Amino acid sequence: MKKNIMKNIVTIDFDIIMAPCIQLYNNMVPNFSWDDLKNSFPQMQLLNADLIHYQRLTQWLLKIITKIPKEKVIFIENHGALNKYLPHEEINVYNIDHHHDCGYGEKPKDKEELDCGNWVYDIAQHGFLKTYTWIKNTSSSREKEKYEGLINYKFDLINYNLEELPVPDLLILCLSEPWTPPEYRPLFYLWKDLLENYYQTNFVMDYQINFEKEDYYGTLYN
């Protein structure tokens, strides 16, 4: 039986909608709970999401699901789980995300576990990253110089035409709970409800966070 060969992976990290304020708390989570943040910092009670981002992404999702089967849609809590769903093939990754996720430590290659901040680096280290396109916020922090070579294309979502995205061979929707304030998380689960209604199925949310690097790729397709 012929294996499914993927070429284009599109993933949306839900923290992209927090463009107006995410830098206020970006370096405080997940070390502090949202209860602690809101009790300690009054400004955390007044966080605003970019609902135009949300509207545009929702419109794109409603169009793209008419072109892909339900088996190619994955819901995850943490981007550290993404690599688990990839095959041993060169892929083009399109990541709509406030963070570049190429690595933030001094020596990411020495990490024992994958996490939400180094998964792009890990794909590249395994030789599977053909191209990486980062669609970001204008307020997103610049990647460190040593990771610049991993990013082939970089765009601000506010100016990006989502119709230019390819039809994905795999669509991965990521909540990134620590970076998404509790009051906005229902909007992510509305995406899940909408897609479940369209496909007449129940998507199981992958809540696993960290994974050993060995025997990690291709668990679904190899």
How far is the CA of 37 from the CAs of 71, 101, 195, in angstroms? Answer: 38, 24, 32
Residue 81, token pair as written in the block: 């789980």
% pLDDT > 90, the chain? 68
∠ CA 212-214-216, rounded to 5°: 75
217 phi and psi angles, rounded to 5 deg: -80, 150
* Average predicted confidence (pLDDT) for the chain: 87
Instruction: Give the model's pLDDT for residue 106.
Output: 61
Q: Is the pLDDT of residue 62 over 80?
A: yes
CA-wise closest residue to 134 among 90, 96, 79: 96
Tokens 């927090």 sit at which residue?
A: 18
Pick from 1-10, 18-27, 158-167, 196-205: least confident: 1-10
Contact yes or no for 76/209 (Cβ under 8 A) = no
Kindly report, residue by residue over 14-50, the tens digit of the pLDDT: 999 999 999 999 999 989 999 999 999 988 999 999 9
Grade residue 4 by pLDDT with cuts at 50, 70 and 90. Answer: low
Question: Is 0.85 topped by the overall pTM?
Answer: yes
Kindly report, residue by residue over 96-110, the tens digit of the pLDDT: 999 999 988 665 454
Helices 51-64 and 185-199: crossing angle in degrees, nearest 10, is 10
**What is the rounded CA–CA span in Å between residue 19 and residue 37?**
18
Kindly report, residue by residue over 66-81, the tens digit of the pLDDT: 999 999 999 999 998 8
Q: What average pLDDT does the segment 127-135 reach? A: 95
